[in-house]
């Protein structure tokens, strides 16, 4: 129940900033939150999380309402090296960074029913005279 997106043209630092918002959250809540986040990384993460959820639904017959984001790993991809020409025939380097995003979703185990504990009655202090 995972999805992988490789060599996406966003800095890993910027993508990880958005990924931190939705780590450990239920999938439906994460998708709703990302749809209203005004960042480039939010749109990218939305697609990857939706893909991981669709993989879980189609391949493993899971219900989307019970899925949560187990982990999101944003790692560094290859860096495209470009340059800008400046005076005297020199070039200033530009590094166009890329990221690789791996999302894993899992089924949230239902919370066990709480058992009623018997209330303890406070015991009277014993007097030793």
pLDDT in tens, 36-61: 999 999 999 999 999 999 999 999 99
Q: What pTM value is reported for the model?
A: 0.79
pLDDT digits (tens, 9 = 90+) for 46-105: 999 999 999 999 999 999 999 999 999 999 999 999 999 999 999 999 999 999 999 999
Alpha-carbon 81 to chain mean position: 29
| Stated length of the chain | 129
Residue 68, beta-bridge partner list: 26, 106
3-state secondary structure of 119: coil
Burial zone of 41 (CB within 10 Å; 0-12 exposed, 13-18 middle, 19+ buried): buried
Alpha-carbon 2 to chain mean position: 11
Pick the CATH number of 2-107 from 1.10.540.10, 3.40.50.720, 3.90.470.10, 2.60.120.260: 3.90.470.10
| Angle separating helix axes 27-35 and 12-22, nearest 10 degrees | 130
Residue 50, beta-bridge partner list: none
Which of the 8 DSSP states describes residue 33? H
């Amino acid at each position: 129940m995972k999805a992988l997106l490789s060599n996406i043209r966003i800095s890993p630092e910027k993508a990880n900033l958005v990924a931190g918002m939705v780590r450990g959250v239920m999938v439906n809540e994460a998708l709703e939150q990302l749809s209203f986040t005004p960042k480039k990384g939010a749109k990218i993460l939305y697609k990857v999380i939706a893909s991981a959820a669709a993989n879980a639904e189609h391949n493993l017959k899971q219900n989307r309402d019970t899925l949560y984001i187990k982990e999101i790993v944003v790692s560094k991809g290859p860096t495209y090296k470009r340059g800008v020409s400046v005076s005297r025939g020199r070039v200033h380097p530009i590094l166009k960074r890329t990221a690789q995003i791996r999302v894993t979703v899992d089924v949230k185990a239902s919370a066990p029913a709480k058992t009623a504990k018997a209330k303890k009655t406070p015991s009277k202090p014993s007097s030793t005279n």
